[in-house]
Structure 1
Amino acid sequence: MTDDDPLELARRIAQSYRGEGQGAGRPGPGPKKRSRPIKPSRAKNEDPSTISDLLGQVVRNQGWTEKLDDQRIFTEWATIVGPEVAQHAQIDGFDDTVVHVRATSTAWATQLKLLAPRIVAKLNEALGDGTVTRIDVRGPQAPSWKNGTRSIRGARGPRDTYG
């Protein structure tokens, strides 16, 4: 067989990985070679990594860092605005630097509208400047008169009830 034979080349590579000698006629493993010390660059690759490091690397590679930073507003809302405000105001959404907040009552909606500049400043301090520019405060939802056991198709709600 010649040196150009790819099968022979593959056999020699496999033998070298198994630690066998260069001679094709020697069966079994050959004399053991002295192990070389592991280089520091190679040791890094062989060391185990934590799952948080791997997830962080995936997030950076996919370009999700900014999106995840924006989502911190949902997870850290109670710590940023305080427990009392968080109890009466829940975040409905976050679009293009605008936070949509739903208040539990109209009184809390009014208070949140008055506190909006302070809340925006706190959010920007915690999440980074320019993350939030405005807070859109909405009061509680009014009850729907369109559904229910006594609703009538085509009716105009409670105005039809009282004649």
Structure 2
Amino acid sequence: MATYDIRGLPSQIEVTPPVAVATAALNRAKAAARARGFRPSSVAQRDDAVSGAARTRRDPQLLGEALGTLLTERGWTADVAVGNVVARWAEIVGTEIAEHSTAEQFVDGVLFVRAHSSAWATQLRFLAANILAAIARDVGEGVVEELRVVTPDARTGSKGRLRVQGGRPRR
């Protein structure tokens, strides 16, 4: 094998190929590991490793568990529960009441329900305790603290062919 010096001229010094250097370094590392009691094929055990089927926070989580944790951490559980009430209004209060009312808004423990007529608004006010009990059975006690029944919007008289244009608002 020919060797060359830094100027590119033939030299008397032989250079060891890189593969031989790497193999020698690996063999020295294996010998040092054996001297410390490790076998070359063994894997070092970490102190915090858990054996068996115990779950840790690093394990993959089910989507439902991850969402439940997120809702709890952010304090959204009551809002989501009431959203469930609004979405399933007919199922919770019954079809007859649901045909004449709509759960509209939830603010600070108060659920606002809009009745489709003033007569139904009166009826819903009488049934408020029963409706609150049905909601508590469905989403849990204390989520909805109060039920406020709102009457339908009063007609303003601003529609139609014979209306007054402009002017001041009525008092």
Question: TM-score when scaled to structure 2?
Answer: 0.58
User: Which residues in structure 2 correspond to 1:16-27 (within 5 Å)?
Assistant: 25-26=25-26
Q: More displaced, 35-44 or 102-111?
A: 35-44
2:9 matched residue in structure 1: none
Query: Which residues of structure 1 form unaligned runs of 5+?
Result: 1-22, 158-163
1:92 matched residue in structure 2: 104
1:121 matched residue in structure 2: 133
Q: Over the residues paired in the alignment, what is the CA RMSD in angstroms?
A: 3.6
- CA deviation string 1:93-142 (max 9, x = no partner): 12233221111122222221221221122222322223333322122212
Distance 1:25 1:69 in 2: 64
Q: Quick one: which amino acid aligns to residue 41 of structure 2?
A: K
Question: TM-score when scaled to structure 1?
Answer: 0.60
Distance 1:124 1:56 in 2: 20
Does the Cα contact within 8 Å between 2:112 and 2:148 map onto a contact in 1? yes
1:40 counterpart SS class: coil
Higher helix share: 1
Q: CA, structure 1 residues 46+99, in 2 after alignment: closer, same or farther (shift >3 Å)?
A: closer
2:165 matched residue in structure 1: 152
2:167 counterpart SS class: coil
Q: Quick one: which amino acid aligns to residue 33 of structure 1?
A: S
1:84 counterpart SS class: helix
2:80 matched residue in structure 1: 68
Q: CA deviation at 1:74?
A: 1.6
Structure 2 residue 116 is the aligned partner of structure 1 residue 104 = yes
1:26 counterpart SS class: helix
2:3 matched residue in structure 1: none
Q: Quick one: which amino acid aligns to residue 104 of structure 1?
A: H
Distance 1:88 1:36 in 2: 69
Q: Quick one: which amino acid aligns to residue 76 of structure 1?
A: R
Does the Cα contact within 8 Å between 1:100 and 1:135 map onto a contact in 2? yes
State percent identity of aligned pairs. 32
Q: CA, structure 1 residues 64+41, in 2 after alignment: closer, same or farther (shift >3 Å)?
A: farther
Q: CA, structure 1 residues 24+128, in 2 after alignment: closer, same or farther (shift >3 Å)?
A: farther
- CA deviation string 1:43-74 (max 9, x = no partner): 75675432222222222333333333343332
Q: CA deviation at 1:90?
A: 0.4
Does the Cα contact within 8 Å between 1:120 and 1:134 map onto a contact in 2? yes
Structure exhibiting the larger radius of gyration computed from Cα positions: 2
Q: CA, structure 1 residues 100+61, in 2 after alignment: closer, same or farther (shift >3 Å)?
A: closer
Distance 1:42 1:49 in 2: 13
Query: Which residues of structure 2 form unaligned runs of 5+?
Result: 1-22, 31-38
Tell me the number of residue pairs that the alignment of Structure 1 and Structure 2 aligns.
134
Q: More displaced, 117-126 or 70-79?
A: 70-79
